[in-house]
Amino acid sequence: MQRTLQPELLDSLPPHHPDALHNRRDLRLTNRIIGSHRWFERALPPWLRSGDLALELGAGTGELGLQLARAGLAVDGLDLWPRPDEWPPARAWHVADLRDFADYDRYAAVFGNLIFHQFSDADLATLGEKLARTARVIAACEPARRRFSQLLYRTFGPLFGANHVSLHDAHVSIAAGFRGGELPQALGLDAAKWTVHRTTTALGLYRMIAVRRA
């Protein structure tokens, strides 16, 4: 199964479109089931130092960042969507394309949940080059690319009310997901400079945390 990128329907919808709102509801439930937010809450803090800032790519509605803030992390958000009403006043929210963002050097940790798979290998290489200059930690939860996961979501998604946007986007997201060392390789993370930890869960989540070697 080759990695393939197709447009996601959510990207064509305004933030407050009813289908987009329903999709965000489906994503919240999916993240709860697969445990991606809980993993970030466990995985990031051990690698951060006092005073470190973290940046969430594709922060969306800010739910993951808010959870990490409650756990004591200083998290800013970056997304094309507007700043959520609930976002802490003291924390920055950057409305920007992650490919064009110019202030990565402010952040010791950069992470994203279900965002890296939306970009081509060429885009990931450009992003990785930027992050590798100053970031000390890069973390990601992404779809593991496998047909069984597509079948699983197509079968069980309708049972918990997933709408047509969620069913379509889950299918194409999984097709654009990662296996093995593909994500760190696409980001250009040199094994001599980075220690990379990767796992794939039974529920189809590809987890990566890369830490710059001292």
Residue 3 has pLDDT above 90, yes or no: yes
CATH: 3.40.1160.10, 3.40.190.290, 3.10.20.30, 3.40.50.150. Which one for 9-212?
3.40.50.150
Q: Model confidence over 10-56: pLDDT tens digits?
A: 989 998 899 999 999 999 999 999 999 999 999 999 999 999 999 99
CA distance 151 to 203: 12
CA distance 123 to 198: 21
DSSP 59-114: -TTSHHHHHHHHTT--EEEEESSPPPTTS-TTS-EEES-TTT---GGG-SEEEEES
CA distance 182 to 166: 25
Q: Model confidence over 131-178: pLDDT tens digits?
A: 999 999 999 999 999 999 999 999 999 999 999 999 999 999 999 999
Note the pLDDT of residue 34: 92
Q: Model confidence over 46-94: pLDDT tens digits?
A: 999 999 999 999 999 999 999 999 999 999 999 999 999 999 999 999 9
Note the pLDDT of residue 179: 97
Structural contact between residues 131 and 110, judged by C-beta atoms closer than 8 angstroms: yes
Q: What is the pTM of this model?
A: 0.94
Tell me the three state secondary structure of residue 128: helix
